[in-house]
A = this chain, B = another copy of it.
Amino acid sequence: MKRIAESTVRRLSLYLGFLEDINRRGTTTVSSEELAKLGGTTSAQVRKDLSLFGSFGKRGLGYSVTELLERLRRIMGLERRWRVCIIGAGKIGAALAQYEGFSQRGFDVVAVYDSNPARVGEALGDLHVRDVAFFERDAESEKFDIAVLAIPARGAQKMAERVARAGIAAILNFVPGQLTAPPKVAMRTVNMAMELEALSFALTNRD
């Protein structure tokens, strides 16, 4: 299959959210035009995005909501649940550990680690913070799919490499600083400072 652009994946995820809403409302059919309007894009864009994976619609009618939901879930790999561990139990890590949005979307946070002895043992929702020294041992037995990195920049690269060596192929990166994804590891970065700076730029350079 040909390479799918990041922007496309983003939109697929959006469409999936819309379809879930639409489905809850009981509507059974949806057109590319309706999805486009919800997502602030064009109907041609929606059709192009979907056509990369096959041809799911009916001319003259649109798409079956349940079928498209099913197809998109399969495309996105969301038919199964994913096991997530969080590394770093500071403010951000702790908030993420207790964020219900993850499990609603199919991601189960099954472990939280920290290197600070003062935090180890602390309860976060159902979980207790574990010593990161046990990370490799646990990764072996608990088969984490995704690691969320919520630690300071110092030492983060080393930790990312430990994650990769432990066989985890995906990282969600909240580290405030430069981090290079180890080879073969999919990484998505959320950098709050960068987002704020983009707003600063927009406020400064608007006409």
Contact = CB atoms under 8 A, between A and B. Distances in A.
Interface of A: 1, 4, 6, 9-10, 12-14, 16-18, 21, 38-40, 75-78, 82, 84, 91-92, 94-96, 98-99, 101-102, 104-107, 145-146, 169-172, 176-178, 180, 186, 188, 190, 192-206
A82 to B, nearest CB: 6
**Copy number in this complex?**
2
Contact of A203 (B177, B186, B194, B202): B186
Given A77-B203, A94-B95, A95-B94, A198 B10 contact: yes
A160 B192 CA distance: 19
A201 B12 contact: yes
A201 B15 CA distance: 14
A198 B6 contact: yes
